[in-house]
Amino acid sequence: MPIPEKRVLLTYDKDFGELAVKDKLYPSAGIILFRLPMKNPALIVKYILDILTSRTDWEGHFSVVEEKKIRMRPLPYP
């Protein structure tokens, strides 16, 4: 049996976040939902990279990243 990879899933899809929690479909490491305005794509990429490297505790959390704040809650593991 293959060893699952511990990856954090990145998404802009608000419905995915709701479904993942409701249906308990969690990736092995975590989920980050970005709620950012779609401005200049290059600026968005830089902002996302800066946010991702600013923390080391993404694993095991459902996180919502907005322009001015980050909300995190632990994922319940089955």
pTM as predicted? 0.79
Task: Give the sheet arrangement for strand 8-11, strand by strand.
Answer: 8-11, 30-35, 61-66, 70-74
Predicted local confidence at residue 77, as pLDDT? 65
Average pLDDT over residues 6-23: 78
Read off the pLDDT of residues 23-78 as tens digits, 9 standing for 90 and up. Answer: 666 556 888 999 988 788 898 899 999 999 999 999 888 899 998 899 999 887 65
- Report how far residue 78's alpha carbon sits from residue 75's, in angstroms, rounded to the nearest whole number: 9
pLDDT at 22 over 90: no
Predicted local confidence at residue 16, as pLDDT? 75
